[in-house]
Structure formats: C-alpha cells, structure tokens
Amino acid sequence: MKQIHKILAFLILILGATSCDSYLDVNDSIDNPNLDELNPNQLIVGAQALSAETYTNRVNRIGNWMAVAWSGNYQAFNDAYGPESRYQFSSTFYDDIWDDLFRYVSNFATIEKYEDGKNWGNQKAAAKILKAFYFQYIVDLYGNAPYTEAFDGTDNLFPKYDDAQDIYLSLIDSIDEAVSLIDASSESFGNSDITFNGDMDQWVAFANTVKLRLLVRLILKAEGDATLLSKVNSEFAELNSATFITEDVTINPGYADTDDRQNPFWEVYGFTPAGVETNQGRQTGPSLFAVNLMSGDPRLNLIWDGAAGTEQNGGGSSSGIGDGILKGPDADLPIMLASESYFLQAEAIERGYLSGNAQTMFNMGVQASFDTLGAGDASAYITNTDADANLGFNGGDALGAIITQKWIALTSVSGAELWIEYNRTGYPANLPLPANSTDPNIPVRLLYPASEYSGNSDNVISQSRSDAFNSKIFWDVN
Amino acid sequence: MKTKFTRILILFMVFVVQLSFAQQKTVTGTVTETSGMPLPGASVIIKGTSTGTSTDFDGKFTIDAKIGQFLVFSYVGYSTQEVEITSTLLNVVLNEDAESLDEVVVTAIGIKRKPDEITTANQVVKSEELNQASNPDAVQALAGKVSGLQINTTSAGLTPNTQITLRGNRSISGNNAALIVIDNIVSSAEVLSTLDPNTIESMNVIKGANGAALYGELGAAGVIIVTTKKGVKSLDKFSVNVISSATVEEIAYLPETQDRFGQGWGGNIESVDQGSWGVPYNGILIPIGTPDSEGNFRYFPYSHIEDNILPFFNKGINLQNSVSISGGNLDSGYITLSFLNQSLKGIIPDSRLTKNNFSLTTGKKLGKFSVQGIARYTSQKTNDVNSIDVDNKNEDNTYPGISMYQRLMNTAGNIPVQAFSSGDNNDHWTIYEDSPYWTLKNDRRYGNRSILDLSAEFMYEINENINTVLRSSIRSTQNNDEINRNGFQDTFFYVGGDRSIRSFYQIDNNDERFIYTDFLVNFDYNLNENITFKSNVGVNLTDRKFTREVNGGFDLAIPGLFQLSNITSLPDYWEENRRSRTQSMFAQLDFGYKDYLFLNITGRNDWNSVLPEANRTFFYPSVGVAFIPTKAIEGLKSDILHKAKLSASYVKTGNATALSPQQVPTVGLVDTFYPDSGLVSLIGQGSVVDQNVKNEFINSFEVNANLEFLNIQVPRITLDVSASISKNSDQILNISSSSATGFTNSLINVGETKSKSLEIDLGFTPIKTQDLELSGRVGFSTFNTKVEQVTDQSNRVEVANLGGTIGAYAVKGQEFPQLLGTAYERDDQGRVVVDSNGNPLINSELQVLGQATPDFILNFALNLNYKGIRLAAVADYRTGHQFYSGIKNQLSGQGRTYETTFNDRQPFIFPNSTVEGSGVNNTTVLTAAGSSGNDQALGEAYGYYTGDHNTIDENFVVDATAFKLREVSLSYDLPAKFIQQLKLSRFNIGVSGRNLLTILPRSNFDYNDPEFAGRYGLAGYGITPPTRYYALNVNLSF
C-alpha cells in the first residue's frame, strides 16, 4: 500500500504541473478583434452604412406602403406585397426594423462611450447626431421604448421602457450636447466620415435639421400642453439663427457594382451585378393615388418609370421604380433630403415658430426635390400648381400643401416620413385603404416585435393587431 | 506544458519499473467444458490486470504470469472461474451457466465489469444483432435496438445525417447528443459511421448521465462505448473473415398529392407554370413547357400521373466488401488487419460514393509491459448534385433558390418529367424554376474526406494489484469540398423573371485535429475474503484544433474551368480557427461485498479552456450501489425468480458544451463589406456572451431493477426497469435578448429544466429447444423534460428555426421543445375569427402548435433460430408528438396538397368560424376572396392558399406518430460438416430489408418522414425522399 501513496502523490504532481493555466490559455480568438479594440474611426463606417441600409430598405419601404405611395405590380406577382396589402400586423411584421435599428444604433452608443485618452469629440458628435436621427424613428414607429437603459449588453438584459415624449426631449438635448462636443482639436476622421467627409459645419447643419424635425413633430402635441410648449418654444428660439442642410445628406462607403457592395436600395429594388432585375423591383410600382396626385408633374417619370399605377391589394400591371430614384449601383445613398429641410422650415414658419417666409421655403423645397430627381427647373410646375387645393401654397391650405409636397418629394427615399407625417397631420388628404380592406383606417404604428416578447416580456407593452389601428404615437393628436 | 507533462511521465515510468520484482513464469494449460470437449477462444486474464489471452482451437493457452496470481477464465455461456497459479501447468474445467451469459462489459474509461457490478442503466448490443441487416452505417444499425435511445436519421442521400439522443433532450442549449467512445478513446458519431460495422464487437449504451461521470461534459447526455474486435485467436494460424454485401435502395414513398387539378395559375391552364392551379383534369392533349430542341411543343393529356416524378430517380446500389485477417495473441503479439471497400450509387442519378477503410490493430506483451496500437484510415469520396442552391441571383430573398427535390415536388401532376430530361435549362416544363435535370448535370459537389486515427495503449503492471495505463490518440479529419456550377443564360423570360444563373466555384477545406490522452492507475485488492476493492485514478487531457478556409466566387472567365484564378467576380474568402483544451483528474472507487453488494464512487474535476478564466474549474461526484437479492438472500432464488438485481445511483455532472471555443472573450465583429474603399468597416456582432458565464450542472438520480424469471435452460422472461429524474440548472442559453441591449442574442446562465425518464424492457423466450429458439423483446420508454425557468424576465427562448416564423422553443412550464408559430385568431369558444371578407385572421402573437418529443416509444425485436436459420426483426412506434412539415407548406403553395382541393376549390365557409365582432357562428360569409382581384372562383382559391393559408404555420404542423419496421433479416449458417469440406470455419448467407414499412397517420399524407424533423420537430426539404433497402450478404471465415 506504500506504493499507492507514492502513485497518488505522483498523479497530483502531474496534474499540478499541467494545470498551470498556460495549457488552457488558448481561448483568445485569432480570427476576430474585439469590439472594444476598435477606435471610433474604425467603427463609424460600418455603423453609418448598416443603419442607412435598414433605413432605406425597411423603414423606407413600410412607410411608402402605409402612406399609399407604393403599390404592387399584380401582373408580375399575383400576391405582390401580400402581408402589407392585408395589413398583417403582428409581432413578426417588420420586426427587423426594431431589431436592426437598435443593433446598429448601439454602435453609435459604443462610440459615445469610447475612452482611450485621445480627443474623439468630432466622432462622438457625429455618433450622437446619427443616434438621434435613427432613434427618432424607433419612437415614431413604436412609441415608448427602452432608451435610458438601452445599449448595456449583458449588464442590463431587461431594459425598462421610457416614455416616448421623454425620449424625444432627451434626443433634443443630446443633439445640443453633440454640437458642443465638436472641437477643432479632435482626432481627424481620416476617410471614415462617409457622410460629410469630416466637414463639421455640415454636421452642425444636419444636427440642427434633425432637431428641427423633432420639434416640428412636437408642435401639435405641445399646443395642448403648456409645459411642453414652453420647452418647444425655447428650443425653436435657439434655431432661429441656426443653419440647416441645403444639400441632400447622403452616404457612400464605396458602393460598387459587385456582389454585396451595391448601393443597398439598388441591391434590393434594382439589378444584380449580372444585370438581372430583382423580384422586389419587379413587384414594386406606384399606387393609383400617387399617379393621380402627380398627374402632369415632371417628377412622375423620374420617381417611377411610367404613369401606370395600381390600387393596393388590387390587380393589373404597374410601372416600375424610375431612374430619379435608382441612380446606379454605386450611387450615393440619401438619408435626408434638402427638400425635407425646406419643408420643415416652411411648416415651422407657417405655424409661427420660426421667423422667415414660408412660401419661399416651400418653393425651395419643391426645387430641391426637382434637383434631387434631375427634373430641372421647378418654377413652371410651382406656378401651375400654385392654386391647386392639394399641391399649391396658395390653394387655400398652405400646411396641407407643404406636407403633400413633402410626401411627393420624399417618396421612395424617406418613406417613413410620408406615413408618420400623414398620421401627425392627416395629409395628403383622402389616402385610400387597400381594396377589400375591412380595417377602420390606415395603421398608426408598428407593433412591438417578437424579440421583446421573448427577451423582455416583463417590460414590453402587450399588444394585439387592433393596436396597429388605434394606439397612436404620442404626437398623433390629429 | 505538454513537454513538462511528458518528461514527468517518463520519470514516472522509470520509477514504477524499479518497483517490480516478482518473477514471471510461463503458465500453460487447457480449458475444457464438463464433457471434456476443449473450449476454443475462452478468455484467460490475469486478475486485476487487463493482460490476457485466449485459448486456441484445442482449448490450450499460454500466458506469462507469476506464481500466486489469479487467472480468470471465462467463456460465453459458462460460469467464470478464478484459479490461483500454483504451478506452470493449469487445466481448468468450466461449468455451463445461464447466469453468466452476459459477458464482461466494457464500461467508462475502458474498465471491464461484470454486469452485476454495474450500478447504472445500460444495454449492450452485440455484433450479431448490430449487423443482422447489413446496414453499412454502424450508427443507423443501432436504431430501434435500445430503449431510450433515439437514432434520428434526418436526411436521405449518400451520407445521411443522424442525431443520437438518449432519454430525450435534456439541455435546452447544450449538447444533447450521446458521446461515442471507440476503443476507450472519445470519438464522434461521424467517425463511427465510417467504421466497418463488422469490426465492431459490441456497443455498450450507458443511458443516463450516470455512466458519464468519468467522461466529463461530453458524456452528459449519455455514452455509447464501442469496442472493436481484437484479433486474439489462435497462435499458429491466421483466421480470415470475408464479408460481401449488395444492397438495393429505392424510394419508400413520396408525398401523396391531389389528383384533380393540373399545371396552371390562378385557375387557368398555364403550360409553363410550376404550380398546380389549373382547371380540373379533363384528359385533353395540351402542350407543356418550352419547345424541344427542334422548336416543337410536346403534347400530353391533361390528366393526373401517379408519382409522376418517380422516373427521375434511380435505384441505388451499394456494394460493400470487407476482408479481415487476424492472428496471434497478446503474449506472442497479435495483429488484425482489415480492409473495407464500399461503392455506392445513390438514388439520385450520377451520385456516387466510394469509401475505403483500412485498420490495423496490434499488440504485444513483453514482461510487465504490454503495448497495443490501433491505426485506422478512412478515405471517402463523394460526387453528388449540390443540394443547396447558393446562387446569388435572388439576393432579395423573394424567390429563394430551392433544392432540386423541392423543385421536383412542385411539379404539377400531369407532367411526365422524363420527357424533359435533356439537361438543358431552357428545355423545361416551367419557366419559373430551374430544371432538376439541368441541376443534376451542372451543379455538382465533390467531397473528399479522410480520417486518420492513431491510438496507442501502454500498460505496465507494477505488481499483481496495481497497473498503470497510458492511452493516447490523435485523430485527424480532413474535408476538402468543392462546388462546381456552370452558368446558364435564360432565353425564355417573358414574364417569369430571368432565371439566368452565374457560374460559381468554391473550395472549402477544413481540418480538425483531436488529441486525447488518458493516464490511469488501477488498483485491485481483496481486502479480506468478503470485500474487494478496486480503484482507478487518472488524468485526462484533450486538445481540439479546427481550421477552415473557404475560397470562391462567381463568373468563370472560361466556362467549365473550375480554378480560383478563373473567377472574375470579387472573390469571397474567409477562414476560421478554433482551439479548445480540457484537462481532468478523476478517481473511481469500487467496493464489492461477496458477490451481491457493490458500491461505486466517482469524482471528477474538469478544467475547460472555453470558460472564463475565473470559472474554468468544476468538480462533480457520483455514487451508485447495486444489490443482488437472489444471491444475498438464501432461498430467494428459484426457478420462478431466477435473478433479481437492484441498483440506484446519484450523479452530478458539469458541462460547458453550449459554449464554443473563443466565444467568451470575443464580442466579435461583422464585416460590412466595404473594404475596397480602404475603410475599416466592421461593427459589433449581434450576440454577446456574459463575461462571467459558468458551467451548467446536471443532478440526476436513477433507480434500476433487472429481473429474470422462469429459468428453463435460460430465463424465459426478463424485465428491466429503469427510472430517472434529473435537474439541469444554470443552463447556458443563447437567449433572444431585447434588441435594445444592442444585441439580438445573449448567452447567459439562466435556464433550468427537470427531466424524467422511464424505460421498461420485457424480454421473452417462449421456445428454446436444441434446434429451435424464439425470443423477443418489447421496450417501452418515455422521457419528458419540463422547462422550469428561462430567464428572470422572459418565459421562452427559441432554440431552432427553419428561417420563417415557425420555431422550436423552450417555454416556461411546458415540455421541451415546443413548436411555436403563426396561428389562426380564435375566439374564446375556439372558433376561427374571419374578417367580413371571410378571410381568417392571424393571431398577432406566436402560438404553441405542438411538441417535438414523443409521449412514448415502443421498441420491438424478434429473433427466431432454427437449425442455423435466423430470422430477426426490429420495429418501433413513436407517438404523441408533432412536427412542422416544410414539404407540406411548399406543396400547399403550389396547389399540390389535398387540402387545396377542399370544396372543389370553390369559395367555402371556413369550418367552425365566426365573423370578427359578430359573436355568432359564421354561416354565410365565404372564404377564398383572393388577393389578386381575380373574379374567377378558382383564381380566388389560388389567392387564398398562396396567401393567408400559407402564412399560417398552424396549417403545416403534422402528427409525427410513426410505426417503422426498421429491419427484417433472414440468415443461414451452413452446417459444420459442409463448411469443413470447403475448408471454411463459417459460411453465412443472409437477406435483409431495412426501413421496409412505415405507417404514418392519415394527416401526414407521407409528406415527410417525421424522423427527418430531428430533435426539434422541424422538417425542411432533404435532397431525396425516404428510401428502403434490400440487401444480400455473404460472410465466410477460414
């Protein structure tokens, strides 16, 4: 039995020798750097590109459909846009908007938190502005959402929901913070600013325009809420001397006509690198409402490739997407058009919150839209439609004309604005429901996604399909 | 550290060599039975060691041992004897004994035990039963033969996939597959599948977590211990064993489809459509598809052809030949050399597999040292149609590339597919999908796999009570796969969309290297005349390294030249490297009191590299006891109750199998694909791992009873019962987290499940005479895992999906796994709510649609032996579970299911429905108002089925009940007097059939074999339908 002791002692010796940690230290990845090893310049390209991809392909798409700008080409696809046509709202309907926006915006939050002793003020400013830009859509499409407890990874797996209006006010504050972070001594962007190429004046103008949009959205709500109104008034006062964007805000990380590198809108609605038209492109066409509204408008044949529209959930053949929108597989991708900036200013002036001339801004907005689409000089169109009840500034309803012209200008680019602004203002007037629809009105929101019911069920607000038609977003006092 | 380890080991060896001093003697003798007939092949082992030999044809043996040691003599069907060596000549007479019919069983870490000593539930499958139907795949050959064991063959084709599950899914996210151990080395089902099944001697299936206490985390879901044949035969001559088999494979069944409406679209005959939405069959000659090469349309009657796609397939033929030569014994040195060649032609035309397997097993004893080594090499080549369409032409995903079988199944019932077999994609019955015949010719996958497995075992006897064993193995698996696809230019896309296909080439090389080392010290003492003590103490090291490189791209400059340099698109390339290591220390203590009470205690500590540094180590113990009342209590044993054994055990096991190597430290990055502009375009990936993640623990308790009754020559009735409960806590779950965290998934310790299992095996031998024996077994098994907790703030987590809304989930308070998907909106009376147009509404939340685990499984086995003729059959029946049929969903969208002919495709009142808001039964509003605005009734039916109906997952969840007759075999051993004239020692000829009969419930309509749905109840499309096999095999030895 003496030997047993020796052997046991020996086994322990062996294990002692091998269990020194170096044998097990093989868990570091050689394939993949860590997220926290990337500096803001290395992270901000992907964050801009992917957020914009979700924006143009999903946020844009659902907005265009719900605001009846788009319809289906039922000749090519019998059940084109089936779930959209039938308003199949559920926790899985367009749930990728929530999931992807949060995921991509979290990269901006990572940049905001990055610390390595250097001054990344400009990058953090850009991240804050873009975070506000995209987060506004989370609130506009879903209402209450996690904000103050969001983006903490496993440190907080069950973030509570914040009040939608509170988030709006926080976003306004965060834009002010962003502008104050801009610093001439900040680390350079190098070539990683694929939006403004490091031009911080343009970032300031963009920040002001995003803030203007947040404030304009709040106006009608604030007019029934004195506390909110005083906040809104003081913020507008700051904007009176501000600069706003005068050119389309676009990104281009290096789009090219090869696999996985095409402009993302083109990739889905345009043509493959082999030149084959995508099925999404083939099934998409203008609504009958859109072609009627734009009858005689030179932009119609640029937004679309013809004037054939269909009734949603109807039948027949339609035109396709035009080359004013599909500019090429390597074209810059717009995320906010100059025309939107002018129409927002026009509305704020018209409602008395900014100083200036609303009609001038209205005209500049229409001209900017013509410029974006390559439609030339807009003055003849503006004159011809000046007294039009829907389209003309002097047709009797200037506010309606501003929103309706914005509806036309932002079609297929910022489609969500069409839907959101319709719900906020009721314009364009008389948007039709899809054929055979039994629903009471155009939906007012998206429903919370399945991932929240799976991952955050104590906090998420329980919903059913009817909420899509009657649970309005807080600014919707129309 | 490895070098340090080796040095210490050498030192240790030197140290133990010096301890040995007792004198070796050569002991010889003869082993006979009571009548005096010699027993050839009887086992002779020095007690307390694994050193041994076996007797030659004359019952003679020679072994080197020491005076005073004990020799253990055993032979199947005879009682084992221990004899002390008092001289160098030892003649032994063994008594026949039904009790010892069970041989010594190889258990964890290579420890051999008598069945009585085992404290946990296990079942042994021997070579004969395993190979009775000549299944070329040892994994599939096990199906239906062990209660509590589910072998799911989840696909057909050249290399079918299998899932091995013991007692159901116990872990939500971790490993639920049983561990495979081959010749004491941890291996994989993949390797087992490549082994020649005829070289397997036995498989010992350890069912619970219990037997796995010594294998660490890999064994947490049960262990299958495979022992291959070792060539310990006669000294002076080689024995040669030749086995040849020929197997024919054919389609067992195809989904049943409707036989009333043919090719068409929206209620019209449309001769180039892929759907079956035409008018009712009328028998009129119509043109079908595109014109032939001469520009002429082909005319066929518009009427149903039963199983019209069957001519596409071939009969498969599998030829398998193996030769093994063995001779020698451990003392003189033994060798077994075997070679297997398999040549398979699959049921898909032009699909071939060739496999060659060489194995060499050898060993020799030199004094106190013995050395054994195994070398196996398998090379397998496959040449097959590429099953998955990875073509990039549908990047927007509205028309995803679909598999060849899927396209075939879509084909309308009036189309004779063989008339369009030219292989030109422009010569096809539809312009909306690619021709399966084109795919066959132009989209190929070539696989080359080689597995090299080398292992060695060194044993040194320190003295009669102590020996040490060092086992080490290296396994290298290399896969080289290529995809070669030719391009295609579509010339017929007037309305159908351009079907042009880009040429594509991809190389996928991966390489896995696994090193496994055990060092054991084994003790064996008789503490006094009643108490035995055995112990095994050891360390184990594993090292797994995986590398993979993928290169490929589109648009070959020179068509047909599959070369990376010939790619003109941007190449797509990536690599993957993974590395993990574990080390463990374990000890096992066994006490035996007389021959009826046994106690087993184990403990194991693991260190695992995949865990965070602070949580790397974990310990887990087990304790088990076995009691044989019929031996302990005088007078209890009778002819009625021949034997009773009771055992119980408690086991704790730890595992971290839900974690992948390199997963913890990496909040990885995703390339956003714009490197051309010189930008770093990475973002954080969508999933995150808790940096404090720790291992899971499973606590399980098991009780077993083994009873034998009515001993008339043999026990005529045996009853084995095993019940277990287990709790799996701190499960590492990849939960779908709130996206607001910034991550769509996070891997955290949360889940808790409780599992119960019960297995009852009833064996019976109603007839046993000299010439005739009839025996059988019925096994009942049930297992149930209930989810106690998912996370603090959520009640469910998705564990698997098919890409759509249907998925398998763990749902708190429910059995695991549950199928959840979209369902009809129902009112409180269960009526389906329809809108005022009669269209059913979809519930806005996912609903529970079924459970993936059967309520129970019945296994049946029957054996009949009559004068060398053996008839055996294996069958099983599973019920109480459901699965999602991807095929049904697809067929429904194409108008191929019976359901789409409901009410002659005329608008109908949805059964048991209520119009939204009405509160009363719907008796007026008709369904099937199409989305298309088509005013024809048939067109509206088309719109209804392709629209709403197809988006409701509930419509495609099908009863998974199945009865399967898995194997029937008939074999005949030629009588000795004939084969002696042929100078043979054995000649056996057999015929067998596998998967001969499957009975499915009516609601399944043969859509999918429910087994294809796997452990999560999700069945997509495979590459082929289920098949059945007929085999003829000849086995001769000389």
- Judged against a pLDDT cut of 60, whether residue B234 lies above it is answered with no
Looking at residue A2, its pLDDT comes to 55
Q: Measured between CA atoms, how close is A416 to chain B, in angstroms?
A: 20
Amino acid sitting at position A308:
A
Instruction: Render pLDDT for B809-836 as a digit per residue (tens, 0 to 9).
Output: 989 999 999 999 999 999 999 999 998 8
Q: Measured between CA atoms, how close is B287 to chain A, in angstroms?
A: 23
Question: Which residues in chain A are closer than 8 Å to B805, comparing Cβ atoms?
Answer: 92
Q: Which residue of A has its CA nearest to B616?
A: A24
pLDDT band at B111 (very low <50, low <70, confident <90, very high): confident
- Judged against a pLDDT cut of 60, whether residue A79 lies above it is answered with yes
Q: How large is the C-alpha radius of gyration of chain A?
A: 25
Q: Which of A22, A27, A45 sits opposite B680 (nearest CB)?
A: A45
Q: How far apart are CA B536 and CA B468, in angstroms?
A: 9
Instruction: Render pLDDT for B596-654 as a digit per residue (tens, 0 to 9).
Output: 999 999 999 999 999 998 999 999 999 999 999 999 998 898 889 999 999 999 999 88
Q: How far apart are CA B250 and CA B393, in angstroms?
A: 34
Instruction: Render pLDDT for B122-152 as a digit per residue (tens, 0 to 9).
Output: 888 888 888 777 777 788 788 778 877 877 7
- Residue A76 to residue B495, Cβ atoms within 8 A: yes
Whether residue A428 has a cis bond before it, omega within 30° of 0: yes
E strand or H helix at A353: none
Q: What percent of chain A has pLDDT over 90?
A: 78
Mean pLDDT of B443-463: 93
Q: Which two tokens stand for residue B439?
A: 């795919």
Looking at residue B153, its pLDDT comes to 73
The length of chain B, given as a count of residues: 1038
Instruction: Render pLDDT for B156-198 as a digit per residue (tens, 0 to 9).
Output: 677 777 778 887 776 776 667 888 898 888 888 878 887 888 7
Instruction: Render pLDDT for A259-271 as a digit per residue (tens, 0 to 9).
Output: 778 999 999 999 9
User: Mean pLDDT lowest for which of A106-115, B272-281, B356-365, B486-495?
Assistant: B486-495
- Residue B739 to residue A99, Cβ atoms within 8 A: yes
Instruction: Render pLDDT for A299-354 as a digit per residue (tens, 0 to 9).
Output: 999 999 999 999 999 889 999 999 999 999 999 999 999 999 999 999 999 999 99
E strand or H helix at B715: strand B714-736
Question: Which residues in chain B are closer than 8 Å to A88, comparing Cβ atoms?
Answer: 842, 951
Question: Which residues in chain A are closer than 8 Å to B792, comparing Cβ atoms?
Answer: 158
Residue from A98, A193, A454 whose CB has the most chain B CBs within 10 Å, to mutate: A454
DSSP B808-852: EEEETTSBSSEEEE--B-B-TTSPEEE-TTSPBPBPSS-EEEEES
Q: Which residue of B has its CA nearest to A446?
A: B844
Mean pLDDT of B751-770: 91
Looking at residue B235, its pLDDT comes to 52
- Residue B846 to residue A91, Cβ atoms within 8 A: yes
pLDDT band at A20 (very low <50, low <70, confident <90, very high): low
Give just the sign of the alpha carbon dihedral B976, B981, B983, B989: negative
Report residue A363 CA to chain centroid gap.
25
What SS3 class is residue B202? Answer: strand
Q: Which of B5, B661, B846 sits opposite A18 (nearest CB)?
A: B5
- Largest CA-CA distance found in chain B, in angstroms, rounded: 102
Q: Which of A21, A99, A272 sits opposite B393 (nearest CB)?
A: A272
- Judged against a pLDDT cut of 50, whether residue B860 lies above it is answered with yes
- Judged against a pLDDT cut of 70, whether residue B933 lies above it is answered with no
Q: Measured between CA atoms, how close is A448 to chain B, in angstroms?
A: 10
- Judged against a pLDDT cut of 50, whether residue A473 lies above it is answered with yes
Closest CA to B497 of A282, A326, A74, A72: A282
Q: Measured between CA atoms, how close is B889 to chain A, in angstroms?
A: 16
Contact between B88 and B26 under an 8 Å Cβ cutoff? The reply is yes
Report residue B421 CA to chain centroid gap.
36
Looking at residue B369, its pLDDT comes to 92
Q: How far apart are CA B590 and CA B532, in angstroms?
A: 8
Q: Which two tokens stand for residue B501?
A: 């296909």
- Residue A47 to residue B9, Cβ atoms within 8 A: no
- Residue A150 to residue B19, Cβ atoms within 8 A: no
Q: Which of B607, B796, B835 sits opposite A19 (nearest CB)?
A: B607
Question: Which residues in chain B are closer than 8 Å to A22, comparing Cβ atoms?
Answer: 1
Residue from A29, A43, A265 whose CB has the most chain B CBs within 10 Å, to mutate: A29
Q: Which residue of A has its CA nearest to B571?
A: A259
- Judged against a pLDDT cut of 70, whether residue B929 lies above it is answered with no
Name the residue with tokens 């048991």. Answer: B912
Mean pLDDT of B438-463: 93
Question: Which residues in chain B are closer than 8 Å to A91, comparing Cβ atoms?
Answer: 844-846
- Largest CA-CA distance found in chain A, in angstroms, rounded: 110
Looking at residue B207, its pLDDT comes to 84
- Residue A27 to residue B610, Cβ atoms within 8 A: yes
pLDDT band at B397 (very low <50, low <70, confident <90, very high): very low
- Residue A19 to residue B613, Cβ atoms within 8 A: no
Question: Which residues in chain B are closer than 8 Å to A17, comparing Cβ atoms?
Answer: 1, 4-5, 8
Q: Which of A50, A449, A454 sits opposite B797 (nearest CB)?
A: A454
Which residue spans within B867-939 are E strands per DSSP?
Answer: 869-879, 882-885, 913-915
Give just the sign of the alpha carbon dihedral A124, A128, A133, A137: positive
Q: How far apart are CA A130 and CA A178, in angstroms?
A: 10
Contact between B61 and B29 under an 8 Å Cβ cutoff? The reply is yes
Looking at residue A455, its pLDDT comes to 83
Q: Which of A7, A153, A192 sits opposite B743 (nearest CB)?
A: A153
Q: Which residue of B has its CA nearest to A161?
A: B740
Q: Which of B15, B500, B742 sits opposite A153 (nearest CB)?
A: B742
Say what angle helices A338-350 and A398-410 make with each other, to 10 degrees: 170
Looking at residue B497, its pLDDT comes to 66
Closest CA to B587 of B233, B108, B947: B108
Q: Which of A27, A91, A272 sits opposite B664 (nearest CB)?
A: A27
Q: Which two tokens stand for residue A227?
A: 């506390």
Question: Which residues in chain A are closer than 8 Å to B494, comparing Cβ atoms?
Answer: none
Q: How far apart are CA B743 and CA B675, in angstroms?
A: 24
Contact between B1018 and B1027 under an 8 Å Cβ cutoff? The reply is no
pLDDT band at B949 (very low <50, low <70, confident <90, very high): confident
- Judged against a pLDDT cut of 70, whether residue B695 lies above it is answered with yes
Q: What is the mean pLDDT of chain A?
A: 93
Q: How far apart are CA B1 and CA B66, in angstroms?
A: 39
Looking at residue B85, its pLDDT comes to 84
Output b/e per residue, B944-956; b: 16+ Cβ within 10 A: bbbbbbbbbbbbb
Q: What pTM value is reported for the model? A: 0.80
Higher pLDDT, B25 or B382: B382
- Residue B673 to residue A260, Cβ atoms within 8 A: yes
Which are the contacts of A16, defined by CB distance < 8 A and separation ≥ 6? Answer: none
Q: What is the mean pLDDT of chain B?
A: 85
Give just the sign of the alpha carbon dihedral B825, B829, B831, B835: negative
- Residue B394 to residue A279, Cβ atoms within 8 A: yes
Q: How far apart are CA B460 and CA A385, in angstroms?
A: 101
Closest CA to B148 of B52, B223, B46: B223
Looking at residue B466, its pLDDT comes to 93
User: Mean pLDDT lowest for which of A398-407, A415-424, B419-428?
Assistant: B419-428
Q: Which of A22, A192, A458 sits opposite B679 (nearest CB)?
A: A192
E strand or H helix at A15: helix A2-18
Q: Which of A106, A454, A458 sits opposite B684 (nearest CB)?
A: A106
Question: Which residues in chain B are closer than 8 Å to A436, comparing Cβ atoms?
Answer: 837, 929
Q: Which two tokens stand for residue B941?
A: 């039916």
DSSP B473-485: EEEEEEEEEEEEE
- Judged against a pLDDT cut of 90, whether residue B1000 lies above it is answered with yes
B404 forms bridges with which residues in the sheet?
none
ipTM score of the complex? 0.88
Highest mean pLDDT among A422-436, B354-368, B908-922: A422-436
Instruction: Render pLDDT for B84-110 as a digit per residue (tens, 0 to 9).
Output: 888 888 888 877 664 444 467 777 777
- Judged against a pLDDT cut of 60, whether residue B761 lies above it is answered with yes
A170 forms bridges with which residues in the sheet?
none
- Residue B738 to residue A456, Cβ atoms within 8 A: yes
Looking at residue B391, its pLDDT comes to 42
What SS3 class is residue A366? Answer: helix
- Residue B688 to residue A154, Cβ atoms within 8 A: yes
pLDDT band at A216 (very low <50, low <70, confident <90, very high): very high
B689 forms bridges with which residues in the sheet?
B747
Looking at residue A245, its pLDDT comes to 97
Q: How far apart are CA A291 and CA A320, in angstroms?
A: 12
DSSP B309-378: TGGGSPPEEEEEEEEEEEEEETTTEEEEEEEEEEEEE-SSTT-EEEEEEEEEEEEEEETTEEEEEEEEEE
Q: What percent of chain B has pLDDT over 90?
A: 40
Q: Measured between CA atoms, how close is A403 to chain B, in angstroms?
A: 31
Higher pLDDT, B80 or B873: B873
Looking at residue B77, its pLDDT comes to 65
Instruction: Render pLDDT for B697-711 as a digit per residue (tens, 0 to 9).
Output: 889 999 999 999 998
Which residue spans within B561-713 are E strands per DSSP?
Answer: 572-593, 597-608, 617-627, 641-655, 669-671, 682-684, 687-689, 696-712
Amino acid sitting at position B339:
F
- Judged against a pLDDT cut of 50, whether residue B931 lies above it is answered with no
**What DSSP state is assigned to residue B197?**
G
Q: How far apart are CA B1009 and CA B822, in angstroms?
A: 23
Q: Which of A107, A313, A315 sits opposite B683 (nearest CB)?
A: A107
Q: How far apart are CA B136 and CA B413, in angstroms?
A: 35
Question: Which residues in chain B are closer than 8 Å to A471, comparing Cβ atoms?
Answer: none
CB atoms within 10 A of CB B639: 11
Question: Which residues in chain A are closer than 8 Å to B572, comparing Cβ atoms?
Answer: 259
Q: Which two tokens stand for residue A34?
A: 């860590």
Q: Which of B8, B581, B797 sits opposite A23 (nearest CB)?
A: B581
Torsion (CA) B326, B328, B329, B333 in degrees, nearest 10: -110
Q: How far apart are CA B214 and CA B246, in angstroms?
A: 40
E strand or H helix at B856: strand B856-866
Q: How far apart are CA B1005 and CA B887, in angstroms?
A: 11
Sheet containing B122-126, strands listed edge to edge, beginning at the edge strand earlier in sequence: B122-126, B200-206, B223-228, B179-182, B185-187
In the structure, how many helices (H) and strands (E) does chain B have? 10, 54
Instruction: Render pLDDT for A98-121 as a digit per residue (tens, 0 to 9).
Output: 999 999 999 999 999 999 999 999
Give the pairing type, strands A70-72 and B60-65. Answer: unpaired
- Residue B686 to residue A256, Cβ atoms within 8 A: no
Question: Which residues in chain B are closer than 8 Å to A7, comparing Cβ atoms?
Answer: 16, 466, 468, 521, 537
- Residue B797 to residue A459, Cβ atoms within 8 A: no
Give the pairing type, strands B122-126 and B200-206. Answer: antiparallel
Say what angle helices A415-425 and A398-410 make with each other, to 10 degrees: 160
- Residue B741 to residue A159, Cβ atoms within 8 A: yes
Mean pLDDT of B956-984: 88
Q: Which residue of A has its CA nearest to B823?
A: A90
- Residue A276 to residue B500, Cβ atoms within 8 A: yes
The length of chain A, given as a count of residues: 478
Q: Which residue of B has its CA nearest to A90?
A: B844
